[in-house]
Amino acid sequence: WAAQVPASATGLEDLQQFSDAFAQLTAQVKPAVVAIQTEKDVRFGRQGAPFNDFFRRREERGGVQEGLGSGVIVSKDGYILTNNHVITNGRRGDDAVADRIVVEMADMRSFEAEVIGRDPNTDLAVLKIDAGDDLPFLTFGDTDELDVGEWVIAIGNPFGQLHTVTTGIVSALGRGGAGLTDYEDYIQTDAAINPGNSGGALVNTAGELIGINTAIVSRSGGYEGIGFAIPVDLADKIMGQLIAHGEVRRGLLGVNIFQVDAQMVEALKLDSRKGVLVTRVRPGEPAEVAGLKTYDVIREVDGQPTDTPAALRNYIAHTSPGTEVHLKVLRDGKQRSFTVELASLEDADETTSPEEPREAKKLGIAVQELTNEVAQRLGFDGEDGVLVAQVQRQSVAARAGVRSWDLIVEIDRKPVRSLDEYVETLEAAEGTALLLLRRPTPEGTVSLIVALRLPN
């Protein structure tokens, strides 16, 4: 005979309680997640990409494209958060909204939705349905309190399987550089999410909405363990502006910035890589008016660390024009404080065309124009060329020895005197490109030639 082992002694009772808690949580939040069906007249389809969104295109028939995505009810009177690409039938950057948008709830009721506003720059959209004033909805969590390793639930409509629930953890925070939108600050999760989950809910164990599921990294087009969600604090800011104005009004600081790398730490005699480096202060814009200068290192904005360009850019962009922000800046080894009243990014776009740094994907570097101030500081007086602002790790340029602050004077023996000449000369190069560089050193500038084998 065998002795009977109490369930509590083996941990089975705790395991059952854990399972019951997830079931109760699912029952609590599931009614607020909806399916969004779209119809749109189309002429051409779209090819898939390795970095796929979660939008599920169902079929194209008779010139009509049908799509299925997800959304989250966030108020009892019917406001719904979703992705912009859900209501444009999966075309990121497409300005044309679907001709018909229908919201289907978990209780099988369906309602035609009105588009309140949308923001392609963050891939968010707000819809409204007229279904009374007592709808189930999710409250917002505090993503500032979110920790890597926390349990989360993802709810959406993958592959047409309505109201599917999966679990996982928060894998990382502050993810960017995906190239999906202009402003990226994603929550990464390993909860299983697939095409059709776009616009769905990422929920914490308190039943609060913490993210809007938006994209996956996938070579197969399906779940491979890396998914991204827009943090709800960002979604809340965008939603508020879309409801109030029908558009997003973004702040403008008026600087070009780059990540501080190890070479910059040494060259500028910094104590760490914290902060972002100001590479240009644009004339007449708020930063110049407040007194910021090239080579300043911005370390905080309104008490928030700005350890990456994306962090500063996102914060400023999601702050309304006319707002005063407080910056902590390191200048020549001393900390200084500045108060800057933000201008309007939209107004600046209409009146100016600032010279943004150019990226060379072939080489893995970003370059910018050589200004008089930078030339004097680095010892490039009288020189022509473009300045290397940043070098990506493990890139072609990094392996060849190219560094930040190098001045590219020639490519394949052809002078490079402007960004346009740089782009044209590089695009014409094939096989191996020869770069003539000037490099600042404590003893003065030196010349060197590097050979870069270009990718096919």
Residue 266: strand, helix, or coil: helix
271 is catalytic: no
Pairing status of strand 444-453 against strand 432-441: antiparallel
The terminus-to-terminus CA distance of the chain in angstroms comes to: 72
Hey, what are 365's tokens?
A: 């570097």
Among residues 85, 119, 185, 296, the one annotated as catalytic is 85
Which is catalytic among the residues 53, 119, 123, 307? 123
Beta strand 227-231 with 186-189 is antiparallel
For strands 186-189 and 164-175, give the pairing: antiparallel
Q: Which of 214, 216, 219 is nearest to 227 (CA)?
A: 216
448 phi and psi angles, rounded to 5 deg: -155, 160
Q: Known catalytic residue: 123?
A: yes
φ, ψ at 350 (rounded to 5°): -80, -25
Two structure tokens written together for 414: 């052809």
CA distance 223 to 208: 24
| Catalytic option among 53, 163, 185, 198 | 198
Buried b (16+ CB within 10 A) or exposed e, 110-142: ebebebebbbbebbbbbbbbebeeebbbbeebe
Tell me if 70 sits within 8 A of 199, measured CB to CB.
Answer: yes
Backbone angles phi, psi at 243, to 5 degrees: -70, -40
Are 155 and 201 spatial neighbours (Cβ–Cβ below 8 Å)?
yes
Question: CA–CA separation, 338 vs 155, rounded Å?
Answer: 44
Cα 193 → chain centroid: 19
Q: How far is CA 23 from the centre of its chain?
A: 32
Nearest 5 degrees, angle CA 384-CA 447-CA 368?
40
Residues noted as catalytic: 85, 123, 198
